[in-house]
Amino acid sequence: MKILIIGGGNMGLTYARSFARTHVTSRLDLRLLARSPERVPALAAHEVGTVWGTPQECVPGADILILAVKPQDSAALFDTIAGLVQPQQLVLSIMAGVRIATIREALGTPKVIRAMPNLPAQIGMGMTAFTGTDEVTRAELVQVQNLLSTTGKTVYVEQESAIDASTAISGSGPAYVYYCMGALMDAAAHMGFSPAEAELLVSQTFRGAVELYSQSGLSCQDWIAKVASKGGTTEAALKAFGAGAVREGLMAGAGAARDRAEELGK
């Protein structure tokens, strides 16, 4: 399968490395399109496939085009590749917010899949939600799922609105986790730990807590109850979280991310 990745940034390179590592396609059939001919050497230095500087030669021959540029760059990209895309090609977009209908109309092509991955895809621990147009066959959907699965877990969703929601939960989610970790590291530093100690205490606590949760059938509430003794320290912290509206703040944050995803699509 000839794959063309357009946009060699965080996510585009993550896909290129994942496909190369798992041999889902040969190195020869893995291509990347740089933003301009001048940027070819920098992208080629990553040594994850053949790099092209203009779309004319590489777009028509691809079986699947992966759109991994920022949503704000999508209109300019559509302008440069619209006349080159063929109706039998699969277009897989991971751009936040950009609607399937927009891509379909701008590129004049029916087989469009929209996916929302996240950054832990870099280590094969990603989470990706995806959906496609009716014109994408079952076999093509499975083909795409096989590609996405090289970066972690996948879930197929029926409604495109669930892609915006997953953007707010799993797409942006790693940043929320780092935000909470950063706050706890700051608290540890205020209590006298060195930065290295604070980092160790917090990162191992997150890792252990998530692993424990993953290996059990218990809910977050169940695990909180196991940590929090009556009248103890955890209870004191949870009360302070409640007073500071931490839970509401996180829920409002996820809501703002979903609103922004919807807005990016307009």
Ligand X SMILES: O=C(O)[C@@H]1CCC=N1
List the alpha helices (DSSP H) in the chain: 10-22, 40-44, 55-58, 74-81, 100-107, 138-148, 161-166, 173-190, 195-214, 220-227, 233-243, 246-264
Query: Is-contact 31 63, C-beta < 8 A?
Result: no
**Binding region for ligand X (CB under 6 A) out of 27-35, 134-142, 151-159, 164-172:** 164-172
Contact status: 62 vs ligand NAI (CB under 6 A) = no
- Binding-site size, ligand X (CB under 6 A): 4
Q: How many CB atoms lie within 10 A of CB 106?
A: 17
CB atoms within 10 A of CB 17: 19
Per CB under 6 A, 115 contacts ligand X: no
CB 167 within 8 Å of CB 96 = yes
> Distance (Å, rounded) from C-alpha 68 to C-alpha 60?
18
> In the set 171, 185, 258, 265, which binds ligand X (CB under 6 A)?
171
Q: Which of 10, 54, 137, 161 binds ligand NAI (CB under 6 A)?
A: 10
- 167 touching ligand X, by CB under 6 A: yes
Nearest to 65 by CA among 82, 51, 85, 50: 85
Q: How far is the CB of 43 from ligand NAI (least distance, A)?
A: 8
User: In whole angstroms, how close is the CB of 265 to ligand NAI at the nearest point?
Assistant: 11
Binding segment for ligand X (CB under 6 A), chosen from 23-31, 53-61, 165-173, 226-234, is 165-173
Q: Which stretch binds ligand NAI (CB under 6 A): 69-77, 179-187, 226-234, 236-244?
A: 69-77
In the complex with ligand NAI, which residue's Cβ is closer, 12 or 198?
12
Annotate each residue in 150-189 with x if it binds ligand NAI (CB under 6 A) or - if it does not, as one string.
---------------------x------------------
Query: Among residues 150, 151, 149, 202, which one has the least CA distance to residue 177?
Result: 202
Residues 74-113 binding ligand X (CB under 6 A) are: 96
Residues that bind ligand X (CB under 6 A): 96, 167, 171-172
